[in-house]
Amino acid sequence: MLFNSLSFLVFFGLVFSLYLLIRPWPARKALLLVASYVFYAAWNPPYVLILAFSTALDWWLARRIWKEDRPAYRRALLVVSLVANLSLLGFFKYGAFALTNAQWLLSLLGVQYMPPHWDIVLPVGISFYTFASLSYTIDVYRREIDADTTLPDYALFVAFFPHLVAGPIVRARALLPQIAKPVPITGEQVGWGLTLTMLGLACKSALADGVLAPVADELFRSPATQSGVDAIAGVFAFAGQIYFDFGGYSLCAVGLALCFGFAFPDNFRFPYAARGFSDFWRRWHMSLSTWLRDYLYIPLGGNRRGEWVSCRNLALTMLLGGLWHGASWTFVAWGALHACFLIIERLARKCWAVSLNSRVGECVLTAVTFICVCLAWIPFRAPDAGAALSVLKATSNPWHGASPAAMMALAVMGLSIAWQWRMRDSSLEAAASRLPVPLRALAAVVCMMAIFLASGGDDRAFIYFQF
């Protein structure tokens, strides 16, 4: 059930209407929990059992950890949670990857091994709800939150449909207090929530799918036939496609949750206006980057044990972050590239105290960051290393003109970067608050028209649904 589908529109309309009609808070929460499980069952009904098992196990383990005082037993219970969750994630997401690589390694040793055919469907959203659930048991183990929540409340935290399948990765400490007591709903909240949802759908349908995806798809389908300018446009187009696709989904998630009175954290903050790679990761997929920071980078030692260890921790964090995105060496390569970017930036800042406070310096740093991020998107999008190299090679093809679609993609990306540069230290809420009501209404109408004009084509799933 895609957010950009008629079936979801009917689903949301029905659930939201019932939510407004029901007054008791426990009944409202029960409605949202049932609706969330129905939403998830629409993808693959049997996989609801995996979601329910993971939820019940982590809730029970967290309560045991919370009540236990013996350090060894508390640690053992946490290990059970980690092993159970990561084993499920590993089996479904990385089983085929592990078998393929085992076959390759054995062939190097002269052993002929034919692995069984792997046709297990990946449960949608398993990476997101696994990380959300793990954050709960880890925080309870660290005694940063209490585990006194009820099972229905915890189940709603994990399964709440706006963030279930593609984030943001909402922490228990942020959402459980909102679930515990009634949250007020105002007309202003609902209006802003629907506005964010429409804006997210317009970004997804009109920009990501309508303008940018065809140009990127054409490049990665046949890079050898592209002119140099078409290839560069295709690389930039995919950078825009994944931003407007995932950023659009995140806006929908934040907006839909706000309609029910729940506040989600922002997941993007104008990342293509970043001044450096550490700044980029403070702006791109912020719920994942902060999760990796708090539960992987800092426990590994962070930057507390010297430069070498800090660089090692950065590399491990980004490599595992790349692998989190998918069971492929191309995702590992994407993580490795970002690890290199971050390490080089870190060492450069240590060695050279270069001031970039001038407008020219900021522009140069932003341009370098954006170009390197776009180059890293090539292995992320390519099916294998050979295809990634072919795309990179295509950017040096003769520049014998560009297609109208490529020029349109370049224009959209130019305007997008200019907008993000203008907004990098602000927010959508602040920008909207400065607009008079008629202009806000006009913006909403434009979004609705863009969604309508982009409808009727291929229904593309959100890119991050596959992760």
Q: What is the pLDDT of residue 118?
A: 76
CA distance 409 to 403: 10
Cβ atoms 136, 60 nearer than 8 A: no
| Number of helices followed by number of strands (H, E) in the chain | 20, 0
On the CB side of 81, CA atoms within 13 Å amount to 29
**The two three-digit tokens of residue 50, written as one number:** 């995996």
Cβ atoms 216, 266 nearer than 8 A: no
Give the confidence band of 391 by pLDDT, cuts at 50, 70, 90. Answer: very high
| % helix, strand, coil for the chain, step of 5 | 75, 0, 25
Q: Quick one: which of 300, 322, 321 has its CA closest to 311?
A: 300
Q: What's CA 403's distance to the chain center, in Å? A: 31
- Mean pLDDT, residues 83-97 taken together: 91
Q: What's CA 289's distance to the chain center, in Å? A: 10
Question: Is residue 127's pLDDT more than 70?
Answer: yes
State the Cα angle at 185 between 183 and 188, rounded to 5°.
140
Cβ atoms 410, 244 nearer than 8 A: no
- Catalytic positions: 325
Question: Is residue 156's pLDDT more than 70?
Answer: yes
Q: CA torsion 93→96→101→107, rounded to 10°?
A: 170
Q: Greater confidence, 399 or 416?
A: 416
- Average the pLDDT over each of 105-114, 307-316, 352-361, 369-378 and give the range with the smallest value: 352-361
Dump pLDDT digits (tens) for 324-347: 998 899 999 999 999 999 999 988
CA distance 462 to 149: 32
Handedness of CA 381, 385, 388, 390 (dihedral sign): negative
Question: Is residue 267's pLDDT more than 90?
Answer: yes
Q: For the chain, report the end-to-end CA distance as a whole number of angstroms.
A: 16
Q: CA torsion 254→258→261→264, rounded to 10°?
A: 20
Strand ranges, E, within 280-383:
none
Helix (H) or strand (E) holding 220: helix 213-221
Question: Is residue 126's pLDDT more than 60?
Answer: yes
* Owner of token pair 């995105």: 325
CA distance 193 to 184: 14
**The two three-digit tokens of residue 254, written as one number:** 């934040």
- Average the pLDDT over each of 113-122, 257-266, 422-431 and give the range with the smallest value: 113-122
- Average the pLDDT over each of 11-20, 56-65, 370-379, 433-442 and give the range with the smallest value: 433-442
Q: Quick one: which of 467, 379, 378 has its CA closest to 94?
A: 467
- Mean pLDDT, residues 405-425 taken together: 93
Phi and psi dihedrals of 242, rounded to 5?
A: -70, -30
